[in-house]
Amino acid sequence: AQTVTQSQPEMSVQEAETVTLSCTYDTSENNYYLFWYKQPPSRQMILVIRQEAYKQQNATENRFSVNFQKAAKSFSLKISDSQLGDTAMYFCAFMMGGATNKLIFGTGTLLAVQP
């Protein structure tokens, strides 16, 4: 069974600084997808970034980038130039390839951006 582990329950960063959130996963599959989702307080979950396992290039979306280490089964999220609006719970999620959209989530990291 696949598992996703986020070892940092809470993190804090100063506005404009850079922060990295950790995520490791366990799978014996080769075809899968990885995601980072953001859930702001009392607001909807939204996708931050998506990575296809067969692509070696790390995904980037504006200030958000990932460090995808397939052999180490590691998928960390780097947020550059942190903004107050980045304050949220961040979830790492795994999806197997094939005919399913089932997401397996980690326990989340609560990120607080301090002014």
Residue numbers at the binding site for other proteins (CB under 8 A)? 33, 35, 37, 43-47, 50, 52, 91, 95-108
Of the pair 82, 111, the CB lying nearest other proteins is at: 111
SS3 category, 85: helix
On the 0-12 / 13-18 / 19+ scale of CB atoms within 10 A, 9 is exposed
In angstroms, give the least distance from the CB of 70 to other proteins. 16
Of the pair 99, 115, the CB lying nearest other proteins is at: 99
Of the pair 88, 106, the CB lying nearest other proteins is at: 106
In angstroms, give the least distance from the CB of 54 to other proteins. 10
Reduce the secondary structure of 64-81 to three states and give it as a string: EEEEEECCCCEEEEEECC
Q: What angle do CA 42, 86, 35 make, to 5 degrees?
A: 85
In angstroms, give the least distance from the CB of 6 to other proteins. 10
